[in-house]
Amino acid sequence: MINFSLPDAPSLAPLRKLATERIVILDGAMGTQVQTLGLGEEDFQGDGSYDLKSDLPQKGNNDLLSLTQPKAIEDIHFSFAMAGADIMETNTFSSTTIAQADYGLEHAVHDLNVAGAQVARRAAERAEAEDGRKRYVAGAVGPTNRTASISPDVNDPGYRAVTFNDLRVAYGEQIRGLIAGGADIILIETIFDTLNAKAAIFASFEGFAEAGVRLPVMISGTITDASGRTLSGQTPTAFWHSVMHARPFTVGLNCALGAEAMRPHLAELASVSTSLICAYPNAGLPNAFGQYDETPEQTAAQVGGFAREGLVNVVGGCCGTTPDHIRALADAVAPFAPREVSA
């Protein structure tokens, strides 16, 4: 199914070139910035110009804001771009029919993804007009709230809440929307179940075949416990072997336990991967209130350490990271050369 003979997207060559020159900067957390806006239910619903066709409450459905508060989302992207991000992640982490079922918005998935890519693109163009530096839009594809390789029912280990094909169909709809909205990259992130990610990879290449162009794919797993495995039980090396068939532009780790706990797992992945390495940790461990306490300087010092050790090609931030975190970590990695890739 994977067709490598498709022409590469125009974004690939300049991205590859940039990645040979320096460490590339990814943006920080959309959710943390949305929280600072203090939006209520009415704000999430918007002024009615987008017909939701759902009676369910929408507060907390951050992806919807690309449609109902597009200027606010564009401004967040813009602030990350001006803080030094080369790549901005679209506000589409939960824009699949599976995740949007919680809000009765399965029918809106195409619109959410098109709008998510378009608002990030507008911010990218504004930033480029300001300082002349090109920015790239990465269509963010989250893990969904279901897992294809683990049973949620302890009494029925063979049960699955979702199948590979359910995920393939749902991701396919998302990815077509992201491509239609103008995404430069597909970023499959926060992977806790590799089977979900494999469905997203498969759906990406189906979408590329339909569009007649192959976008760079970034793949990012999440190590959720101290044993150094993903939720579906893989070590970083096993994870690499499970996704290398996609020839990703980057493979890496995000979210979870923060930069300090990520370091050994990142080092393992960097020792086996023939793709570029991308790391974007949370701002430390969440506190008792689910908030992240690491200062920009603390996160930047650790991510700067990844760069000093030659482990990374792309760095950014996940939960709890603000434009100040991105500015600080861009400065911290600037003196260091990107990791050398041995093919």
Residue 36 burial (CB count, 10 A): 9
Report the residue number, 207 or 284, with the smaller CB distance to Zn ion: 284
How far apart, in whole angstroms, are the C-alpha atoms of residue 156 and residue 158?
A: 5
Among 255, 261, 266, 307, binds Zn ion (CB under 5 A): 255
Q: Cβ 319 to Zn ion, closest distance in Å?
A: 3
319 is in an annotated binding site: yes
Whichever of 119 and 318 has its CB closer to Zn ion, that residue is: 318
Burial, 3: exposed, middle or buried (Cβ in 10 Å; 0-12, 13-18, 19+)?
exposed
The answer to whether the CB of 173 falls within 8 A of the CB of 109 is yes
* Least Cβ distance, residue 213 to Zn ion (angstroms): 30
Return the residues of window 263-292 that contact Zn ion according to CB under 5 A. 282
Neighbouring C-beta atoms of residue 87, cutoff 10 Å: 27
Residue with Cβ nearer Zn ion (48 or 290): 290
Shortest Cβ distance from residue 255 to Zn ion (Å)?
Answer: 3
Site string for Zn ion, 115-134 (x = CB under 5 A): --------------------
Q: Give the shortest CB-67-to-Zn ion separation in angstroms.
A: 23
Q: Could you tell me which of 71, 87, 12 has the C-alpha nearest to residue 248?
A: 12
Beta carbon nearer to Zn ion, 192 or 205: 192
147 vs 282 by CB, closer to Zn ion: 282
- Which amino acid type is present at position 15? L
CB atoms within 10 A of CB 59: 14
Give the nearest distance from C-beta 31 to Zn ion in angstroms.
Answer: 8
Q: How much of the chain is in helix, strand and coil states, percent to nearest 5?
A: 45, 10, 40
List CB contacts of 226: < 8 A, sequence separation 6 or more: 261
* Per CB under 5 A, 140 contacts Zn ion: no
Shortest spacing between CB 111 and Zn ion, in angstroms: 25
By rule CB under 5 A, what string of x and - marks binding of each residue 303-332 to Zn ion? ---------------xx-------------
Give the list of residues 6+ apart from residue 324 with CB closer than 8 angstroms, or none. Answer: 83, 296
| Residues in binding contact with Zn ion, number by CB under 5 A | 4
Select 2 or 285, whichever has its Cβ closest to Zn ion.
Answer: 285
- The rounded distance, in Å, linking the Cα atoms of 64 and 138 is 18
Q: How far apart are the first and last CA of the chain?
A: 24
Q: How far apart are CA 95 and CA 239, in angstroms?
A: 24
CB of 282 vs Zn ion, minimal distance in Å: 5
Look-up of token digits 């050369």: 337
Complex with Zn ion: residue 36 or 49, whichever CB lies closer: 36
Rounded to a whole number of angstroms, the minimum distance from the CB of residue 77 to Zn ion is 17
Strands 87-89 and 185-191: unpaired
- If the CB atoms of residues 11 and 61 are measured against Zn ion, the closer one turns out to be 61
Q: Whole-angstrom Cα distance, residue 196 to residue 255?
A: 17
Nearest to 28 by CA among 301, 214, 299, 227: 299
Which of 63, 175, 82 minimizes the C-alpha distance to 135?
Answer: 82
State the binding site.
Answer: 255, 318-319
State the binding site for Zn(2+).
Answer: 255, 318-319
- The site for Zn ion (CB under 5 A) is made up of 255, 282, 318-319
